Structure 1
């Protein structure tokens, strides 16, 4: 049956995590908690588990081995600190926190506590990304020169919660979607960016203060990467990464695309997978189970801090008008 896991938060991702926990034998879904008791009760009834009154009741339960924090970004710090102080293991959905300073506080708490910790950066669990990285490591496109990664989506403004439209609350494209792009490029290259230069602007939805457009140039040593994130008004999505090498090029998307060109045109190299999204989520939950079993994770709190530091470097570069170190 494995360790009992409680999901903190009752939004859409609570269902995603609950279903994945049901498919994972090394963990089991113990219950739900959130600031909307009726939603937590409805979820608990659907999955035939317990609805906890509040976080304190979750942390007082000795049968709970860990929590998944799937709440608005501004609440990650307080919830994760409390869970770690109670000796629980935690999986914090991305981004780890709203600032590097908050990430540092969480790193200290993780080092001091008995629980184990990881952040929910998903792109390294994506089957197409795993297959693409294997091709890159095998030298399929020669020496990597440049990357162009974009995530253009319909922002669906009317369906967004107020916090998602507020920069102070941790909303906007960089913190909601841009962190995915930094994560996926870093995973594909097997490296971390050293500097960033870019913009974070509000161009499509002037009625919100959070950014809905982000463009950045990141340096991964000798490799140049251009990142584009945008939350538009109803435009068709573009969600993919293209990598150019001295001997070929590769295009990949976690949504189920992997193309390789070695000078003879594009060839589909995607290996069969019944459901790429489900496999990615299952990979994340399996990674959490492995973490609780004592195995290391590639997406620890230090990695989560790095991604948030990347966003902060982009924002600093807007003010300084020069490349900023990701630190």
Structure 2
């Protein structure tokens, strides 16, 4: 039996808790949050213990693994502490707020012999898995171009205050929402990012970016356009993949459609339980990693997303294209550092 703890009883904690309840060899043993009442709401349906200090939870709860569901700037310290306690870790995206912190997390968990998995939920949502299946058949040929558009809301008061702190969140709409877009677009494009340009906006009097665009070229030549807009007239969350012989459109609201030779077919119809199903599959993947399997999303992929977001901030500030080091170059640089 895997005794699981959760740090952070925020927006998606109940999805994690429900998922744990569906897996026979997982027990939700403890939930920690600075607000005891919030922790209790997540813990009580499952008889889990409640803590307000995660270090105490690590000492007392007899855990095997922990889910870190906290503000981004806290991930590093919590992962390092968990690794030192011999706990396996599933940490919500973004992995960290700097690439250096990502590397420290990878090194610490590697040295401790514990699993580190990043919660890139896009890889487990049913409508995105339907896209993966279509692309894998090869019926549409090569992916040529991807457009990813998502709306959000970064007006004051629409989300917890820490989202508006660059130090705690690592950025604004692009780090938070744009990270999802980059995750799935790089996944569907099947290559890392070679170069990019970007622009950002700060509206509503907040200190982080509220809107942004990123134009990316992947190493296989696929072009990706990511657009994130706050407080738009219509809520949108769509990724459109343009291939040699057709297109795939994917949205949690409208499902997944394939268009080819003038005809459209639906390959996934949205269901109310899709989000919960995604979290269940994600936790199942984590449990499989603890049993010696390979996680669906590598830490290198999660690290790359952080790298790309930070490069987009650099490009937006300078007005210039940013070229990223290739994975091979990074290994050389790391070896000679």
- What is the TM-score when the length of structure 1 is the normalising length? 0.92
Q: Deviations over 1:91-132 (max 9, x none)?
A: 110101111111111111121112211111011111221121
Aligned 8 A contact 2:252 2:270 in 1? no
How far residue 274 of structure 1 moved from its aligned partner, in angstroms, is 6.3
- Per the alignment, residue 245 of structure 1 pairs with 243
Question: Whole-Å Cα distance in 2 between the matches of residues 298 and 42 of structure 1?
Answer: 30
Question: Whole-Å Cα distance in 2 between the matches of residues 195 and 28 of structure 1?
Answer: 44
With over 3 angstroms needed to count, the CA separation of the structure-2 counterparts of 1:256 and 1:285, relative to structure 1, is farther
Deviates further, 60-69 or 105-114: 60-69
Deviates further, 3-12 or 187-196: 187-196
1:175 aligns to 2:141 (yes or no): no
- Per the alignment, residue 88 of structure 1 pairs with 87
With over 3 angstroms needed to count, the CA separation of the structure-2 counterparts of 1:279 and 1:45, relative to structure 1, is closer
With over 3 angstroms needed to count, the CA separation of the structure-2 counterparts of 1:124 and 1:110, relative to structure 1, is same
Question: Whole-Å Cα distance in 1 between the matches of residues 184 and 63 of structure 2?
Answer: 31
- Per the alignment, residue 257 of structure 2 pairs with 259
With over 3 angstroms needed to count, the CA separation of the structure-2 counterparts of 1:256 and 1:289, relative to structure 1, is farther
How far residue 55 of structure 1 moved from its aligned partner, in angstroms, is 1.6
Question: Whole-Å Cα distance in 1 between the matches of residues 253 and 292 of structure 2?
Answer: 31
- Per the alignment, residue 318 of structure 1 pairs with 316
Aligned 8 A contact 1:88 1:114 in 2? no
Secondary structure of 1:168's counterpart equals helix
- What is the TM-score when the length of structure 2 is the normalising length? 0.90
Aligned 8 A contact 2:127 2:270 in 1? no
Structure 1: tracts of 5 or more residues without a match: none
Question: Whole-Å Cα distance in 2 between the matches of residues 53 and 147 of structure 1?
Answer: 43
Aligned 8 A contact 2:146 2:242 in 1? yes
How far residue 64 of structure 1 moved from its aligned partner, in angstroms, is 0.6
Question: Whole-Å Cα distance in 2 between the matches of residues 235 and 107 of structure 1?
Answer: 41
Aligned 8 A contact 1:196 1:216 in 2? yes
How far residue 299 of structure 1 moved from its aligned partner, in angstroms, is 2.1
Secondary structure of 1:148's counterpart equals strand
- Per the alignment, residue 275 of structure 2 pairs with 277
Deviates further, 243-252 or 91-100: 243-252
- Per the alignment, residue 185 of structure 1 pairs with 185
Secondary structure of 2:157's counterpart equals helix
Structure 2: tracts of 5 or more residues without a match: 326-337
Secondary structure of 1:40's counterpart equals helix
- Per the alignment, residue 291 of structure 2 pairs with 293
Question: Whole-Å Cα distance in 2 between the matches of residues 237 and 127 of structure 1?
Answer: 20
Deviates further, 162-171 or 172-181: 162-171
Secondary structure of 1:175's counterpart equals helix
- Per the alignment, residue 309 of structure 1 pairs with 307
Q: Within 5 Å, which residues of 2 pair with 1:75-224?
A: 75-155=74-154, 157-170=156-169, 171-203=171-203, 205=204, 207-220=205-218, 221-224=220-223
1:32 aligns to 2:26 (yes or no): no
How far residue 255 of structure 1 moved from its aligned partner, in angstroms, is 4.3
Question: Whole-Å Cα distance in 2 between the matches of residues 159 and 274 of structure 1?
Answer: 24
Aligned 8 A contact 1:145 1:224 in 2? yes
Q: Which runs of 4+ in 1 moved over 6 A?
A: none
Secondary structure of 2:12's counterpart equals helix
Aligned 8 A contact 1:123 1:254 in 2? no
RMSD (Å) for aligned C-alpha atoms: 1.9
